[in-house]
Structure 1
């Protein structure tokens, strides 16, 4: 059977250039975003098609999921290997498929009083377990990293040679609470040495370090991070072919659902807002958005709203929470409209029309529409 390549995320292709609008001496000089025309037209969105919407791919993914489930539930597996497996599953975008297994494994690890000697002595293992447990909601003390400091209270210089451990500590430092000085020091220490990486590391590790320094795992977007990690994971010598195949299949299945949701959004000509008063302006903007006649100071917002984080929520069945996400995405489109009118200095007429929609009506204060 012919292999279908991994789907790529489409980019909105909207460059932003700034130009001054010519005004009279009595007018305030304004900037225009001058957004370029988007190729996300109605016809283009409706033409998107994916074979992965077919049920046979979902059945295949389910079978691979069952096979992978036995790996995480292996009681004889090394503890560090299990933690690394959990990390890989989450980075590959498969965490939602194994949510119960991951929760049970981390619960058992957190409640165990028998500290694994390998976890205590390994910077990578300590930082990885710290990050996974904090992500799960456990109150883990930053003091677990005290053993990696010298008598002067600084992180040991020998740690710079442990690139994998340094990278894990750097990612863990992003889960610091306010006032946790040790983790703040850890972030500064690891960032400085990772930027000046001179150790003999593999190409895949060097690429991961570069990627993490650019966009940390904690601040990244789950689906976009998964898209990058799927390829990065395949370059590793210890990559599991089963997990890699499941990750590619899952990504394309979810992508097909997102494309379907985007098509539904673009076909929508009505919103849940009322059609009178200031809210009618928003409804009109939605229709102009679909027709491609939106004023030049606005971005084409249908696709942008669809790419916001809520649209990447997925359920164990591999489908999106369409109803809730559709509402959130429509609200995002309203925000993009306001952003164009206020943030990028749309004409006064646009500001006057949308101002009542954001003014608290119960206050009843006079509105100054002067530009």
Structure 2
């Protein structure tokens, strides 16, 4: 590998800019923005691996207005000689939805690492590109890829290399009873599709897109902050489930197994009724490994976000982050602070859910997980 072939790259994910609940740390100037821009030193390419924008909290126009100051500063920081590679996630899936719709109209298959011109991807992608150029300087070049992108191409077809994707395909098959998982289960029943039979990006899109579309339509008509409070509410539910002193937590621990049993009887199988920090971590890791196996991926390194659980971290069991077919799984974590971890664990610097992490890939193709934020003021 040469420096020209593998430009030094910084990968971040789950910025959720424009969040209605104000949990997006990068929206305004401060230590989070300063830490991210400092980490761009020596980097030729910034990759946002999904959920750049929080499009489930308000109409896109409102979200872009909230995100524009950061995007303008980011465009200036990168400048015309560096690029921003943008992948869509589940919270900004509409970044590529018009293009995906056109593919289906033509009957063209969705490739694993498809690159698309922003003007073809969506008007939203065009607006993001314009925001990058709205500052005082000349903004960065914008590229859009979906559902994945090779940062380091494999030396042989499908074997080796460094692949980045948001990780939201896990919503179709992991064991956690999230809204996205239940929506995908209902879509699987409607289409007569077995979860084990998912083999292509189109297979996964068929199950996850309906739920994403419903959430986006809800946000299109949002006028207050109730939609934006959903992320904080989810974190609170997880915290109460794992709080042994809470009366509501005991009630939830009794109710969840019964609800999951009812879902299983309804035909949505493969759900876990033990919702603990350990089961959430293991479900995320094994779920992403299962996605890689079903898509027949064999990268040396697979970089994802989505679950907000960064790793591998010191103290993590290394074997948990190994893919079954070889290779290592990496998670960038997030840049949001909802006041607590989604598992009820103490949230502070060093916590797996503490925001402000990134993965750097240099010319040797070896990823490194960086912790860019210590304690936050205020």
TM value normalised by structure 1: 0.23
TM value normalised by structure 2: 0.22
Give the structure with the higher percent helix. Answer: 1
Give the structure with the higher percent strand. Answer: 2
Higher relative contact order (CA 8 A, sep 6+): 2
